[in-house]
Structure 1
Amino acid sequence: METYEIASVVLLASVGTGLVASAGLSHPVETDSHSETAEETHEHALFHVVINGSEKDFTDRKFQLNARSVHLENNKSGIVHKHRTGVEWKDFLETINTSYRRSNSTGNLCLKIYRETHCRSGTIYLNGEEPDNL
């Protein structure tokens, strides 16, 4: 497995998007749920992943329009479209086959994007701050 240093993973949510860290919500909505508690909305947030100083490109078809409630579209890599209330960042990351974890032994950030895994030092930011979880 090839590893890369992760300079930063940046989730920059614009004010009022409602894309929030999961810690504050008691009833998360599944990615494509049509729950009665979830309402329609149309909001946008910025999304950037930087690995070794290069921004990850999410314009490939495998990352686009994977769920109705939250997705990337129009071959754009950095704008998340949210269409249901209650959607969390973890829900969006699932739609692009992306997950992360912090290694207990080294403290390194391990970021899995589709079939690539990157483990080294790194930071995740949400609205300019490091969240406890997403």
Structure 2
Amino acid sequence: MAQITKEELADMINGREYRREIRPDECLLASENHLVVVLGRSDDYMNLCGVINDEIPAWDGGTAYFNEHGLLLNECDDDNCPHYKRLIANAAKVDAVWGPKDPDCSWLMKSDIPHATFDIFEDGDLYCRGLVFNLKELTANGDN
């Protein structure tokens, strides 16, 4: 297995074109190294690739929550589920910001999780500032 850091993977992805952000072999490499790539897709999804592969609905923005085991999902039918609220209270999070002013792009991924950033372009314009983080760097109590 080849070793790669979040910074090295972000450097590889940086500058690529929308819809060609990351190749399948790079997603596998990310997975083998416990890395999660987070970027905006279309106008309504946060896309996760690597050790976690998923799409999070994010119409007009959204938030994904993580712990050291992976993505935290609300399995209740109620958006105000007290069990889910307790689960995410100490979780690490990534915010998908739709249409930020700084930088001027469609998507901005923001987080306090230790991460590296990369830029994705569409027809020469900045489309998304995404991020890469290492799931193993998250701690059991949510402190990063």
Instruction: Give TM-score, length-normalised by structure 2.
Output: 0.28
Higher relative contact order, chain-length normalized (CA < 8 Å, sep 6+): 1
